[in-house]
A and B are shown apart, each in its own frame.
Chain A
C-alpha cells in the first residue's frame, strides 16, 4: 500500500453494474514524506468515509477489488484506510 491525498470526487451515472453505490475519489499518490509522486488516479473508497483533504492509504491492482463489499468488481485502486498519524524517521 502507499499513501495518497484525496483531492476530489468523481461521479459517474452510467457505470458497470458492480460499481453501483461505490464512492469514487480522485487521489494523488504521495511519498512517505507526503510529497506528491506520479499522476492522480481514480480510486474506489473501501472505507466509505474518506473525503477531499484526507490522507489515506490505498491498495493497487487485483487486491483493490477485495476492499469493496462486492469482491469481484473492475477496480484497480481502492482506499483501505484513513491516516490519523504518520511517524517517519
Chain B
C-alpha cells in the first residue's frame, strides 16, 4: 500500500461500469515523511475520503477487484483507509 493525499475529484459520465456510482479521487503520492513525489493516481474511493485527507492507497488489480466485488474489471487504484497518524522511527 502507498500513502497519499487527496487533492481533487474527477467526474465522468461515460466510464467503465465498474466506476458507476463510485467516487473518483485524485490522490498525490507521498513519502512517509509527507513529501509529494510528483506521482498521482485517479483512485476509487472506498472509505468516504475527501479532499485534504491523508489516505492509504492500493495500486494492484487483484486487491482492487476484491474491494469492488467485480472480476474482471479494469481497476487498480483504490483508497482503502484514512490515515490518522504516521510514526517513523528516528524522526521527530
> Taking beta carbons and an 8 Å cutoff, which residues of A are in contact with B?
1-3, 31-32, 46-47, 49-50, 57, 59-67, 71, 78, 80-89
Contacts and interface: CB of A to CB of B under 8 A. Distances in A.
Interface residues of B, number: 28
Contacts, number: 87
Interface string B19-37: 1000010101000000000
A82 B16 CA distance: 10
Contact of B15 (A62, A71, A80, A88): A80
Contacts of B42: 1-3, 57
A80 B26 CA distance: 15
Interface of B: 7-16, 19, 24, 26, 28, 40-43, 51-52, 61, 64, 72-77
Given A81-B19, A89-B7, A89-B8, A66 B13 contact: no
B41 A62 contact: no
Given A1-B41, A88-B8, 6 more contacts: A32-B28, A63-B74, A66-B74, A78-B74, A86-B8, A89-B52
Tell which of B11, B16, B74, B75 has the most Cβ of chain A within 10 Å. Answer: B74
